Amino acid sequence: MQPYMKKWILVFVALLICALIYNVWPEKRLPEGVVIDKLVVHKSKHTLEGFANGKRIKTYTVSIGPHPKGDKQEEGDGRTPEGAYIIDAKNPHSGYHKNLGISYPNAADRAEAKRKGVKPGGDVKIHGLRNGTGIIGKFHRLADWTLGCIALTDAEVDELYSHVPIGTPILILP
């Protein structure tokens, strides 16, 4: 084997090891008993912030729909909605590792869709990875892959699930 090939193989192995460590390195956990009373999503930054008593206590990196610019216009457009909503449901048995329901579409979304003659869509969630694919972990962040939902790692959605009550406001910004 040529010396330059050995060098590239070593570089590749080192990068692979770093990527694997990144994927399994634990994130800082929220303290027990903290209740998140507000969520803010910044689509352009791919972040979801959790607040308690007006103070930001944690920021998560998220994946969103494959067409991240602009508000959701209609069912199937691959956009994550923008606006003020609430967490209206929790599902521990979804097709994705748990989810928190977002109250999209609201009255304004339905009226806008009706005006345009389209269906607004729905079923927008904060969820983990598709069941059985949790090993992907943080690598899911490399692409916007949801149908318009907000995706986290399974561990992160477990954390939010236990700290976010139904009725919590969520603001989704461009």
- The catalytic site residues sit at 127, 149
Establish if 50 belongs to a structural domain. Answer: yes
Establish if 16 belongs to a structural domain. Answer: no
Establish if 65 belongs to a structural domain. Answer: yes
Domain residues for 125?
36-173
How many domains in the chain? 1
What b-and-e string marks burial along 37-71, b requiring 16 or more CB atoms within 10 Å of the CB? bbbbbebeebebbbbbeeeeebebebbbbeeeeee
Establish if 49 belongs to a structural domain. Answer: yes
Residue 54 near residue 40, CB atoms below 8 Å? no
Establish if 163 belongs to a structural domain. Answer: yes
Establish if 11 belongs to a structural domain. Answer: no
Q: What is the pLDDT of residue 174?
A: 97
What CATH number did the domain enclosing 146 receive?
2.40.440.10
What are the distances in angstroms from CA 83 to CA 34, 38, 174? 25, 14, 9
Q: What is the pLDDT along the chain (174 residues), one digit of tens a residue?
A: 777 788 888 878 778 887 777 777 778 888 889 999 999 999 999 999 999 999 999 999 999 999 989 899 889 999 999 999 999 999 999 999 999 999 999 999 999 999 999 999 999 999 999 999 988 899 899 999 999 999 999 999 999 999 999 999 999 999
Establish if 98 belongs to a structural domain. Answer: yes
Residue 137 to residue 8: CA distance in whole angstroms:
27
Establish if 8 belongs to a structural domain. Answer: no
